[in-house]
Structure 1
């Protein structure tokens, strides 16, 4: 059976009219057919948050501007500004870590383990967190968010313990239409969170604890060009929102080795390349893991130590670099530009945003 993607178009054209509050935020299905973000000129400078790590994956500090080379569409770009940041328990580093517990895409039977692992992470070091953390819970009915970021892990654990997580109304036994609704709630939640974070200063490290939403791509899924245009508009808007909010997204799979043989743990790799135009668009290009890698974050799965994986993702806040480069005006809307950063030190790799859509 082949599915029409008219439904996918409605799913993916998102609205940002909702505002996150400190209590409960409605996650009603968006009905707008307007792209996520109206195109705004990107001429000027482009900020890149760069994490450098060695073979053990831990962030490396102490590097200088001359150690970095930035390429845009494979052409070297001058670095116009450079700043090295090291976060400590007493520093006021321009970064906030957001832990998001996704109960939309996690079976109810696995949510308890997911919460237990988050609780374990929060209570490490007697609950003394190295950086401010905001706790977010995404569910079928909306978003719950802590009133403010906190370094008190015990306080955040108490919030998590009291949070009500209802049994999911949407089940994967509903088949294709259940999957599209999961996708809709997830993508809408990410967009609204990004819109909210644009109003807040500094870099944000968003750790999305979830096996990921359905990729909805494959030989049995057909897209018309009109569908591809709508999906592409959503991708461009979401990419712009994450960039403006300075969000680096990381994906942590709470299912551990139980999900190790799932297609989700590798299938997303087919969609990680930047999408230059609507005719190249597939729904898999909006996968959680794909968005994470393209934002400069991590994809962590197939490990039962979920608390440890969260700590690994959170370590990206310990040391990073802020580079500025020029962003020439585009000649046409949604001009995709590939970005890469190289480090002139053996054994070190740099992670940052892999591209952006330039506007006239």
Structure 2
């Protein structure tokens, strides 16, 4: 949340820097001078208010392999049939994430946001759908994931979420494979399907045999009751699924760049019977479109993976095929018709068609009718990590909320493309509904589980107020922060001394030769469940003389903040934002407040 800026005039800036420097052990605080220089190896997107960004995956039609090495001239883009001029063009590779950087050694209680891996490719989300997937299918999918995730490239950012009775973050974005596998272990300990009323597919044969000894009217009434019960269960699961996907879209909208959503599920809960019949069915497709639009707007490509593996028809002779039954696949279908002779294949077909639709409208790819579930997830990560970002300023400046169709094409017709197919042209200066759903950049960056950001490089020394290194220094006696509710007593005051690298800040030259930068510093205290218990946020204008700037280019711009922390083990998340460029850096620090200390880095 943006707070009113507190103007730091020259004498206060000098006093602040001098105070901070006197309280911090000279050169030992900062690893900025030993850190690798921050170079612009990829262009920084300079977004305008109307800029439309499209992530495009290019594949060979025959092999399915992602294609790289194309340039701007290869792409043509139409909006509602009208040619558009590309003003942004970037190529991203799966191998970009492998580029590791050395992290400088820092003294105890000093932390830095030096990037271990450059975030130049896509971030990935594994969404485990326990709501719509049977227990045995969940177990098999989990085993497959554990096996194949060991093969993803180092530096690949992955987060894990779970859909049960609600959406839950299992672990935030991490490049630590062991942490990722541990997160999947947590999912295992969470138990099986939480689907109200059963798993994703309930065969008609599971209904009780009501014909024996019952009148036809009674039997029909019981069948109607059973059908109504299943419909209510399906409606409830659909409501929960839609709400969870929308919640996830809002969170991922705060994460910069492309995101690949690998959705491990037995399928979206689709209406029973004719997919086009009844209000429930009609509402279903409207809700799917709404979810797709939110995901596409957040630059999220959906990769549905059917956790049921190879699909076979029930009550068939295993001798009919090598897979133990008659397999069902919609790939290659030319009509798109849904078979209705058997209710189970009908629901399969509807679910697979929905998977295809969600993937197509967001720029992803659907995987189903295969037992290689883990390999499908890894393939989705690889597929979505080699892509192109193209952007344009629409020639149509009438932003009336109407849906605009996008078509991207290449000169070479041997390639197939995946990208979002359109967007809602909402007035960028207005207050469209999607604007109210998004958080401010800094608030979003301070959320639990967010990507570690290193667009601004900074260090922070974090000490409890009673530490001997702070002896004799004057600290505030007022409460520090704005807690959501009273903190567990007695809270511990923590002092955060920042050292911010000016090299990537936007410095404005004033008429008297001084340089000015507007910064936002934020501190958020999170409990073990990821809930915020206290936070503080301050905006500052810092004016620097040429002499001060010369000094700070080596030692960093020094700032101090204070925050009260409850008597429990928590995580302190720090953020620094350059207001002019929206660049942000973040650090997460575990605090063991019970003994008044921070975990050593």
Q: Which category of TM-score, normalised to the shorter sequence, fits these structures?
A: 0.7 to 0.9
Judged with a 3 Å threshold, the aligned counterparts in structure 2 of structure 1 residues 177 and 330 are, in CA distance, closer, same or farther, namely farther
CA contact (8 A) 1:132 1:150 kept: yes
Residue of 377, 392, 414 corresponding to 1:310 = 377
User: Distance between the aligned counterparts of 1:286 and 1:255, measured in 2?
Assistant: 15
Aligned length in residues: 301
Q: Deviations over 1:319-348 (max 9, x none)?
A: 211100223344643x22221211112411
Asked if 1:143 is matched to 2:198, the reply is: no
User: Distance between the aligned counterparts of 2:335 and 2:73, measured in 1?
Assistant: 34
Find runs of 4+ consecutive structure 1 residues off by over 4 angstroms: 227-232, 234-237, 262-271, 283-286
Residue of 211, 220, 237 corresponding to 2:266 = 211
Aligned ranges for residues 314-353 of structure 1 at < 5 Å?
A: 314-327=381-394, 328-330=396-398, 332-333=400-401, 335-353=402-420
Residue of 166, 172, 187 corresponding to 2:242 = 187
Q: Indicate the residue corresponding to 2:124 in structure 1.
A: 97
Q: Point out where structure 1 has 5 or more consecutive residues left out of the alignment.
A: 1-41, 272-282
Displacement of 1:77: 1.9
CA contact (8 A) 1:206 1:247 kept: yes
Higher share in helix: 1
SS in 2 for 1:99: strand
Aligned ranges for residues 1-360 of structure 1 at < 5 Å?
A: 44-54=50-60, 55-88=62-95, 89-90=98-99, 91-124=118-151, 129=154, 131-139=156-164, 141-163=165-187, 164-170=190-196, 171=198, 174-216=229-271, 218=274, 221-223=277-279, 232=286, 234=287, 237-258=290-311, 260-261=327-328, 287-327=354-394, 328-330=396-398, 332-333=400-401, 335-360=402-427
Judged with a 3 Å threshold, the aligned counterparts in structure 2 of structure 1 residues 92 and 81 are, in CA distance, closer, same or farther, namely same
Task: Provide the aligned C-alpha RMSD in A.
Answer: 3.3
Displacement of 1:148: 2.5
User: Distance between the aligned counterparts of 1:92 and 1:133, measured in 2?
Assistant: 12
User: Distance between the aligned counterparts of 2:70 and 2:238, measured in 1?
Assistant: 40
Displacement of 1:262: 7.2
In the superposition, the TM-score normalised over structure 2's length comes to: 0.45
Q: Indicate the residue corresponding to 1:17 in structure 2.
A: none
In the superposition, the TM-score normalised over structure 1's length comes to: 0.73
CA contact (8 A) 1:122 1:129 kept: no
User: Distance between the aligned counterparts of 2:72 and 2:304, measured in 1?
Assistant: 29
Query: 85-94 vs 155-164, which deviates more?
Result: 85-94
Q: Deviations over 1:245-267 (max 9, x none)?
A: 21111111121212652789979
**Whose RCO is larger (CA < 8 A, sep 6+)?**
1
User: Distance between the aligned counterparts of 1:237 and 1:60, measured in 2?
Assistant: 30
Judged with a 3 Å threshold, the aligned counterparts in structure 2 of structure 1 residues 220 and 356 are, in CA distance, closer, same or farther, namely closer
Q: Point out where structure 2 has 5 or more consecutive residues left out of the alignment.
A: 1-47, 100-117, 203-228, 313-326, 339-349, 428-601
SS in 1 for 2:70: coil
Q: Deviations over 1:140-180 (max 9, x none)?
A: x2233244212222321122113313442511554111111
SS in 2 for 1:194: helix
Displacement of 1:317: 3.4
CA contact (8 A) 1:236 1:357 kept: no
Judged with a 3 Å threshold, the aligned counterparts in structure 2 of structure 1 residues 355 and 115 are, in CA distance, closer, same or farther, namely same
Judged with a 3 Å threshold, the aligned counterparts in structure 2 of structure 1 residues 304 and 228 are, in CA distance, closer, same or farther, namely closer
Judged with a 3 Å threshold, the aligned counterparts in structure 2 of structure 1 residues 338 and 120 are, in CA distance, closer, same or farther, namely same
User: Distance between the aligned counterparts of 1:220 and 1:348, measured in 2?
Assistant: 33
User: Distance between the aligned counterparts of 1:92 and 1:219, measured in 2?
Assistant: 41
